[in-house]
Structure 1
Amino acid sequence: MTTDPDTAPAELVVLLDEDGHPAGTQDKRTVHHADTPLHLAFSCYLFDDDGRVLLTRRALHKATFPGVWTNACCGHPAPGEDLEDAVRRRVHQELGIDVHDLRLLLPAFRYRAEMDGVVENEMCPVFAARVGGPVTPDPDEVEEVAWEPWEPFRGAVLDGSREVSVWCREQVQQLPADPASAPAASPATLPPAAR
């Protein structure tokens, strides 16, 4: 049985001031529009034991960036939710898989992007993790998935020959050359709302 999105409980996102402090909450269903307020999010890159990265194509009916290829998972921590717990929760919800060796790589990543009049405006710490076992995507979130060797994927993103989301492109530019084995970054520069 499918839940009616209009009667489902509100999923709240954490709004931020320009310094990354909490500035309230808003229903996720109403936060993304032409003038989206700055809010807290995260991105995660998932790797298998062969060093391949999992890419996902966003569901075609999503309100933001439908049908766009991007990193494995993005999401929003709930108010008061630990950021790593939020990553684990969302990866499991969207991809039906558990992560291990979860590491923070880009604590201070921030971006703004627009597609079809809808804006993303996020402070979005970036993580990497390892996974094993089959991926079972939620069709409400993910249209399709693909595993690709990291180095050719990274090279194609950097030279512009691979189309991915704006945030994925900017993240790949800033990530270590080998994020699957890079050491964790210090959480000291996380937005205050995420510490």
Structure 2
Amino acid sequence: MNDHVVLVNENDVEIGLMPKLEAHQKGVLHRAFSIFIFNTNGEMLLQQRAYGKYHSEGLWSNTCCSHPYPDEATSDAATRRLKEEMGIDAGLNFLYSFRYEAGLDNGLTEHELDHVFWGITDVVPVINPDEVLSYKYISEENLRADMKENPAKYTEWFKICLSEVLDRIRI
């Protein structure tokens, strides 16, 4: 069942399960999370999604994002996945949740109730090459400038939530 996502209503109440790919093909609302890690200099850790991912391959995004397993707390899933993708075990803080819908490549649709977490660490990532092609730390100023100049280099959900995240977090 680890290839399934948790379907939810707009109040984040679980209403069923669906295979992950099918949920993205049909654009069905499901639970997700996004993690934003900063270093003590206030720079954000970005990941470049690995080639071979079923959508948004090669694009830059927040530190980590995924879906909780059925019967897994979202905060536990965030901690687990950050370790699996980036090799980082950092204290995560819940920030807020938001719902969005966005068309992706390959005719897929993200329709997620996304729970946003953040943390601060100077631990050097040890990336999982099946998930992550590369990573970099970047200042808010340089990130905003690059996203304005090159929006196609970034994932849709990252473009949607970045300003809200940065408005809520001050390192």
- Structure 2 equivalent of residue 113 of structure 1: 102
Q: Judging changes above 3 Å, is the alpha-carbon distance between structure 1 residues 178 and 161 closer, same or farther for their aligned structure 2 residues?
A: farther
Does the aligned pair in 2 maintain the 1:128–1:180 contact within 8 Å?
no
Question: What percentage of residue pairs aligned between the two structures are identical?
Answer: 32
- C-alpha RMSD over aligned residues: 1.9
Segments of structure 1 that go 5 or more residues without pairing to the other structure are: 1-8, 182-195
- What secondary structure does 2:80 align onto? helix
Q: Structure 2 residue aligned with 1:129, among 102, 113, 119?
A: 119
Q: Distance in 1 between matches of 2:61 and 2:159?
A: 9
Q: Distance in 1 between matches of 2:156 and 2:169?
A: 19
- Structure 2 equivalent of residue 22 of structure 1: 14
Q: Distance in 1 between matches of 2:32 and 2:82?
A: 13
Does the aligned pair in 2 maintain the 1:153–1:162 contact within 8 Å?
no
Q: How big is each residue's C-alpha offset from its partner over 1:139-168, in whole Å with a ceiling of 9 and x where there is no partner?
A: 1111111111123323543xx224221111
Q: How far does residue 88 in structure 1 lie from its aligned partner after superposition?
A: 0.5
Q: Distance in 1 between matches of 2:127 and 2:52?
A: 15
What letter is aligned with 1:39?
A: H
Which residues in structure 2 correspond to 1:32-111 (within 5 Å)? 32-33=24-25, 35-100=26-91, 102-107=92-97, 109-111=98-100
Q: Distance in 2 between matches of 1:172 and 1:29?
A: 25
Structure with greater helix share of residues: 2
Runs of 4+ in 1 over 3 A off after TM superposition: 154-157
Q: How big is each residue's C-alpha offset from its partner over 1:41-73, in whole Å with a ceiling of 9 and x where there is no partner?
A: 010111111111111111111112111111110
Q: Considering only CA atoms, is the larger Rg found in Structure 1 or Structure 2?
A: 1
Q: How far does residue 113 in structure 1 lie from its aligned partner after superposition?
A: 1.5
Q: Distance in 2 between matches of 1:142 and 1:154?
A: 22
Does the aligned pair in 1 maintain the 2:37–2:120 contact within 8 Å?
yes
* 1:147 corresponds to 2:137: yes
Q: How far does residue 29 in structure 1 lie from its aligned partner after superposition?
A: 4.4
- Structure 2 equivalent of residue 161 of structure 1: 149
Does the aligned pair in 2 maintain the 1:47–1:180 contact within 8 Å?
no
- Structure 1 equivalent of residue 163 of structure 2: 173
TM-score, normalised to structure 2, is: 0.88
- What secondary structure does 2:167 align onto? coil
Q: How far does residue 104 in structure 1 lie from its aligned partner after superposition?
A: 1.8
- What secondary structure does 1:99 align onto? coil
Q: How far does residue 180 in structure 1 lie from its aligned partner after superposition?
A: 4.8
Aligned pair count reads: 168
